[in-house]
Amino acid sequence: MTQSGTAAPAATAPPMRLPSTLRVGLSRARLETLLFFRERTAVVFTFAFPIILLVIFGSIFDGVFEGTGISFSQVYAAGLIGAGVMSASFQNLGVSIAVERDEGTLKRLAGTPMPPVAYFIGKIGSVIVVAVLEVAILLVISLTLFGLRLPSDPVDWFTFVWVFLLGVTGSSLLGIAMSSVPRSSKSAAAIVTLPFVVLQFASGVYIPATQLPDWLIGFASVFPLKWMCQGFRSVFLGDEMAILELTGSYELARVALVLSAWVVGGLLLCLMTFTWKNRRDG
Amino acid sequence: MTAIKVRGLTKSYGEVRAVRGIDLDIQPGEVFAVLGPNGAGKSTTVEILEGHRRRDGGEVSVLGVDPGQATREWRSRIGIVTQNADDKPEATVRELVTHFAGYYPAPMDPDEVMDRVGLREKERSRVRALSGGQRRRLDVALGIVGRPQLLFLDEPTTGFDPAARRAFWELISGLSDGGTTILLTTHYLDEAEALADRVAVVARGQVVAQGDPHSLGGRTGGQATVSWRENGERRSVRTGIPSRTVIELAERFDGEVPELTVTRPTLEDVYLSLIEETP
């Protein structure tokens, strides 16, 4: 009916190509990383927390395990690298996605031509940057202050890489699933952080598993953190310290199995629970 | 081709029938306002058109596509202005506009978008430092950066002061002059009157009136009220022929009629009577 001068050419012109999912995903990763480091609360609670705890625990408990050359602080360092990875992934995503859902960011994105996969590429990409930096800082502090030694065997480095990658992925997916639990952005930090702190104690980050009750270990064994820490201890503490482990071994095969299971299970959990809408949207 | 065509749209939430058979036809280039009280089914209808919500029944075509089958290509042709640019407080205006431009096949130049919404001077400001009106302008910027053929505006000026609202209306009129079809929901009747070519009043899940805002509900025809002062008291009559009444009064008073007024129902009067009528 109406002649509309501007719309007509657009309708007849050949369709323009949409930007690729990878390109949009990388652009999101860049923005997410930039904004993470500008957000003071996130930087303090997610990024700085494991680093502060390492300095405090490492300085307070400076004894040595009898009959070995390994100090308490070295054991904390190895465990806190695991906790740091989980903080950068699980806690980071659990809180930030809950806030984005509550404040309508997700709904806004769902109304644009952004491919949904690009959102997750952005999140995972930014988590990897944050986690690598986190681990690097924890390592530098551990090496300079607490006498942690870098492994010389390439096999140990290989273990380090796969534990890191499987751990980051599994914990990220668990964090994405966790983001559906808080009812509002205000409660998100508390609801995600509390179980994470409990999990750190149960997983032997601060207290060796040999001193924990069985039921607590059973609980922790379900989640990725215990296995990540075990993997990192195998890399940094050497075979002789395997006596600190419950079974007297680092059980690397089992570590790989549980972490891989979390990658698959976490993905399924996300597919079942993830929503772009918040509770008010119905 | 119509920009939006809706026939017999229905949607229920459990026992509540939120939308009970809505029909709409919106032409390309038109500014169309949907008015209605909270809970009338206005938001549900718009969310179905935006592809954010599934419908129970009826036919819906938005730019020739069923929004229930939304594709990226279709999403790149529509723009949705939501009310939450404050969700990324640490981003700058330029960063957000440039980032969102990257979602679209043929976006506007970010500089042009910021000029258009009047935020060029604020391009380096963090979102948290913007005023409420500026944030809403940023919402519009993010909605139009992909050069949409159709723009959804959901209660865009809620909470604005009068000057900010006038400035915002000018922005929207400018977009419409560029040929963009606009679907606006609002609580403000003056806003609908200032911006819309046509309005639909939605109440109890149905369209109870539709048309040009100046003649909605028989505003231009129908009854007018003629009032004047006589023997110290105010008198008025409702009449379909007000001119005749005024002439008769002028003859009776032999000249000037004291305190003469002729009024027709305001859009607000019409609206209130429409939404109050029993179903």
Q: What is the ipTM of this complex?
A: 0.85
Which band of pLDDT confidence, cut at 50, 70 and 90, is reported for residue B141? very high
Considering only CB atoms, B50 lies closest to which of A18, A100, A111, namely: A111
Using a CB–CB cutoff of 8 Å, tell me whether B169 touches chain A: no
**What mean pLDDT comes out for the span A117-121?**
92
Distance CA A39, CA A43 (A): 6
Interface probe for A, chosen from B26, B30, B72 (most Cβ of A below 10 Å), is B72
A28: chain B residues, CB-CB within 8 Å: 99
Interface probe for A, chosen from B81, B103, B139 (most Cβ of A below 10 Å), is B103
Using a CB–CB cutoff of 8 Å, tell me whether B88 touches chain A: yes
Using a CB–CB cutoff of 8 Å, tell me whether A253 touches chain B: no
Distance CA A89, CA B262 (A): 70
**pLDDT of res. B49:** 96
**pLDDT of res. A2:** 41
Distance CA A120, CA A122 (A): 5
Considering only CB atoms, B103 lies closest to which of A39, A112, A277, namely: A112
Which band of pLDDT confidence, cut at 50, 70 and 90, is reported for residue A6? very low
**A127 pLDDT higher than 90:** yes
Q: Express each pLDDT in A25-51 by its tens digit.
A: 999 999 999 999 998 888 888 889 899
Task: Select the more confidently predicted residue: A162 or B160.
Answer: A162
Interface probe for A, chosen from B90, B108, B124, B147 (most Cβ of A below 10 Å), is B90
Which band of pLDDT confidence, cut at 50, 70 and 90, is reported for residue A10? very low
Considering only CB atoms, B179 lies closest to which of A7, A107, A115, namely: A7
Distance CA A218, CA A166 (A): 21
CA-based nearest residue in chain B for residue A119: B103
**pLDDT of res. A7:** 40
Contact A113 B29 (CB under 8 A): no
**A9 pLDDT higher than 70:** no
User: How many A/B residue pairs have CB atoms within 8 Å?
Assistant: 94
Residue percentage of chain A with pLDDT more than 70: 94
**pLDDT of res. A70:** 80
**pLDDT of res. A239:** 80
A2: chain B residues, CB-CB within 8 Å: 27-30
Contact B29 A35 (CB under 8 A): no
**B255 pLDDT higher than 60:** yes
What residue segments make up the domains of chain A, in order of their start? 21-277
Token pair, residue A93, equals: 């995503």
Q: Express each pLDDT in B50-63 by its tens digit.
A: 999 999 999 999 99
pTM for the full model? 0.85
B149: chain A residues, CB-CB within 8 Å: 7, 10
**pLDDT of res. A15:** 60
Q: Do B159 and B8 touch, CB atoms closer than 8 A?
A: no
Contact B103 A113 (CB under 8 A): yes
A31: chain B residues, CB-CB within 8 Å: 91, 95, 99
Average pLDDT over chain B reads 89
**pLDDT of res. B260:** 92
Q: Express each pLDDT in B65-74 by its tens digit.
A: 999 999 999 9
Task: Select the more confidently predicted residue: A34 or A65.
Answer: A34
Q: Express each pLDDT in B72-100 by its tens digit.
A: 999 999 999 977 656 788 999 999 999 99
Total residues found in chain B within this entry: 279
Using a CB–CB cutoff of 8 Å, tell me whether B5 touches chain A: no
Widest CA span in chain A: 91
Distance CA B80, CA B75 (A): 9
Residue written as tokens 């519009």? B140
User: What are the backbone dihedrals phi and psi of residue A148, each rounded to the nearest 5 degrees, phi first?
Assistant: -70, 140
Which band of pLDDT confidence, cut at 50, 70 and 90, is reported for residue A69? confident
Query: Among B144, B119, B143, which Cα is nearest to B133's?
Result: B119
CA-based nearest residue in chain A for residue B1: A1
Task: Select the more confidently predicted residue: A67 or B276.
Answer: B276
What is the least distance, in Å, from the CA of A202 to any CA of chain B? 35
Q: Express each pLDDT in A210-253 by its tens digit.
A: 888 989 989 999 999 999 999 999 999 888 788 778 888 889 99
**pLDDT of res. A130:** 95
Distance CA B56, CA A234 (A): 57
Which residues are CB-neighbours of B84 under 8 A, at least 6 positions away?
Answer: A103, A104, A105, A108, B139
Task: Select the more confidently predicted residue: A233 or A64.
Answer: A233
**pLDDT of res. B84:** 65
Which band of pLDDT confidence, cut at 50, 70 and 90, is reported for residue B159? confident
Distance CA A138, CA A232 (A): 12
